[in-house]
Amino acid sequence: MNPRDEGGGPELPWGGPRFWQGVYRVADPKITLASVASMALGLALAAHDGPIQWGALAATVLGIFCIEAAKNASGELYDFDSGTDMRVTEEDRSPFSGGKRVLVDRLWTRPQTMAVAGVFYLLGAAFGIALALKEPAVWGFGLVGAALAFFYHAPPFKLSYRGLGELAVFLTYGPLICAGAYVVQRGEIPLRAVHLGVPVGAMIAAFLFINEFPDARADEASGKRTIVVRIGRVLAARAFVIFPIVAFGYLALSPITFGLPRGVWVGLIGLPHAILAAKRLRASPDVTKEIVPAQAWTLLSFVLLSLGASVGLLVFR
């Protein structure tokens, strides 16, 4: 059966409990931690350099949240049509991977999924336009961010299907959001803000990378050629360590090389969890239940990196 013929049905009501369960899934708090982590760093650097504009802050948070939820919703359509979400077996289910499954679990119909994605994209655009009218430099950040979000799953680029998902995530959740949050506040784009986004972007890309392990069999069967599918789980597990080396090495050198305040070194508190994740993944790259703790540690690593560096920027002036 064509996967387009499944997933939801005309009997599913708008606004019912199942519908709102689907909304919650595409706005998953675990996933929004990535954008919050990057925004926090950019805002902490902006606060280090001057006063915070709270209205602009609220519009930034809401705009990025809406674009992220829109990306998750539109991505559900493409992942469902490719069959990858339906091919994830019970033993490979994880709290951090496997898609939002709003169509697989019949929480939404296809029209509802398209409508929710459209509403979130429109809301995100509205907040972005409001910010751009005040600060024109926001136009570039908003357009690039929205394009990367949509084409992460969508043709013709289908970045996540071509092994380019990590690069897209690194750019979006690293320099783009971090520097974008700064420019909204200060009206300029210093290289320091771009450099500050690199470590958190690298660890958020690591989170995507490790989340590809439980989905690897389903992705391969569906033609989704992620890096883990391309090089295999064993080699990919060994390669995982590259992400924390880049992230925390860059963070350690940034005050010396790029002129960032030394307070960012507090972000190194995220390193132990990255090491634990790398060891766990390398020991059991093929068993999902053994990988889940490593997924959680990777998430905690980038959260602690962001939290520590943000606090360091605000406290150690």
Domain ranges of the chain: 15-315
- The amino acid that residue 313 corresponds to is L
State pLDDT tens for residues 282-292.
999 999 999 99
Residue-level pLDDT, tens digit, the chain, 317 residues: 344 444 444 557 787 889 999 999 998 877 789 999 999 999 999 999 999 999 999 999 999 999 999 999 999 999 999 999 889 988 998 988 888 899 999 999 999 999 999 999 999 999 999 999 999 999 999 999 999 999 999 999 999 999 999 999 999 999 999 999 999 999 988 899 999 999 999 999 999 999 999 999 999 999 999 999 999 999 999 999 999 999 999 999 999 999 999 999 999 999 999 999 999 999 999 999 999 999 999 999 999 999 999 999 999 86
State pLDDT tens for residues 148-174.
999 999 999 999 999 999 999 999 999
- Cα-to-chain-centroid distance, residue 178: 13
Name every residue whose Cβ is closer than 8 Å to that of residue 272 and which is 6 or more positions away in sequence.
none
Rg (CA), the chain: 19
Residue 14 pLDDT: 84
pTM for this model (two decimals): 0.93
> Shortest CA distance to 310 belongs to which of 99, 89, 42, 96?
42
Q: How many residues does the chain have?
A: 317
In angstroms, the CA 54 to CA 124 distance is: 18
Domain 15-315 fold is Farnesyl Diphosphate Synthase (1.10.600)
DSSP 50: S
